[in-house]
Amino acid sequence: MFLQRSRGIKGSIGAALGALAGATRDYADATGWDDLESKASNLGENGWELVSIVPRSSIAGGAGAGFTTDELWVFKRPKHNSPGQIQPAENIVETKSFSSEAREVLEKKGYIVYLLQGKSMRLMWKQKGEPRFDTLTSLERELLGPPYWIATTPAMEVAINPNQLFLPNSNDKTFRSHQKMISIFSEEISDEVKTAKAIIGEASNYVELALLYRDQTGKNLFKIDGEPVYTVTNTAYDVGLGNTDCLIEVGADRNGVLFISQYWLNTLGKTDTWLMPLVVPS
């Protein structure tokens, strides 16, 4: 599915919006930015996601030759099955769950098990108005967004211990130190629960977990001694030109509103950034 945006003096737009709302023709027109955003939002609601933007030029010669006049936006979505059609095995989403024995041991140790559905942060923002990240444009929040904003993860169960959400003395540490700490903690967990391990999760995992925890308890997950805190994640944040020496960290403000921000890999440590392990099935 393709969407063509033409750059003109008034920002006029041509759109190839085939398959939108069941359309069979290949092209439709978008008359301006408001029209584009409306149709693009409809695409998002119908499961289309932007995968690339290709700059093009319609100027063949002269001083303006090669100047970008058009952008071809390429979208994709999974193929929908017809009613009654058997879903291919590779498209069936299987939730990774704890065994009954592992769950029993974890619950005796004070852990609570939550089922994460693998939602993207964009979807959760549309549903809850959170998380917030001030560097995102309104269009990025609504539809497009950088990879970390639209990324989904497999559905899985995770366990957290409300009495020890963060590893002790894990603030003021480098990310490499966090990786060593999670490795040691994971070994300790595996000694007691053979089919479980501890990980540093993706940013969307922590956001979804925080929303579930708040819905269940009415409490803010990201708080220590009444003060708001953050946790590091495994989600890369590209600050431009392919520079991925930056991660996403997840936390909350004093009102409990969820925020995401940048955490540089060369950071020696931050007093308000801790390590929250997620215990998952191994």
pLDDT band at 78 (very low <50, low <70, confident <90, very high): low
Are 70 and 105 contained in the same domain?
no
- Structural domain includes residue 94: no
Residue 88 CB partners (closer than 8 Å, separation 6+): none
14 pLDDT above the threshold of 80: no
Which range marks the domain in which residue 107 is found? Answer: 100-281
pLDDT digits (tens, 9 = 90+) for 120-142: 999 999 999 999 998 888 888 88
Q: How far apart are CA 154 and CA 192, in angstroms?
A: 25
Are 126 and 64 contained in the same domain?
no
Are 115 and 228 contained in the same domain?
yes
Question: Could you give the number of structural domains in the chain?
Answer: 2
Mean pLDDT of the region 258-273: 90
Q: List Cα–Cα distances, 236 to 24, 80, 116, 161, 177, in angstroms.
A: 38, 31, 20, 26, 17
Which of the listed residues 76, 92, 110 is the one where a domain comes to its end? Answer: 76
List the beta strands (DSSP E) in the chain: 2-6, 13-15, 28-30, 49-56, 70-76, 112-116, 156-160, 196-199, 223-224, 227-228, 230-236, 246-252, 258-264, 273-274, 278-281
What does pTM read for this prediction? 0.69
- Structural domain includes residue 82: no
45 φ, ψ (degrees, to nearest 5): -65, -25
Cβ–Cβ < 8 Å for 228, 215: no
Are 141 and 226 contained in the same domain?
yes
Q: How far apart are CA 245 and CA 239, in angstroms?
A: 8
pLDDT band at 267 (very low <50, low <70, confident <90, very high): confident
Mean pLDDT of the region 34-59: 66
- Structural domain includes residue 93: no
- Structural domain includes residue 63: yes
- Structural domain includes residue 88: no
Are 165 and 59 contained in the same domain?
no
Are 170 and 56 contained in the same domain?
no
113 φ, ψ (degrees, to nearest 5): -100, 130
Are 111 and 60 contained in the same domain?
no
Cβ–Cβ < 8 Å for 272, 251: yes
Are 132 and 215 contained in the same domain?
yes
82 pLDDT above the threshold of 50: no
Are 60 and 157 contained in the same domain?
no
Q: Give the β-pairing of 258-264 and 246-252.
A: antiparallel
- Structural domain includes residue 91: no
156-167: string of b/e by CB count within 10 Å (b at 16+)? bbbbbeeeebbb
Mean pLDDT of the region 151-180: 94
| Residue in 223, 224, 222, 237 with CA at minimum distance from that of residue 267 | 237
Residue 238 has, within 13 A of its CA and on its CB side, a CA count of: 8
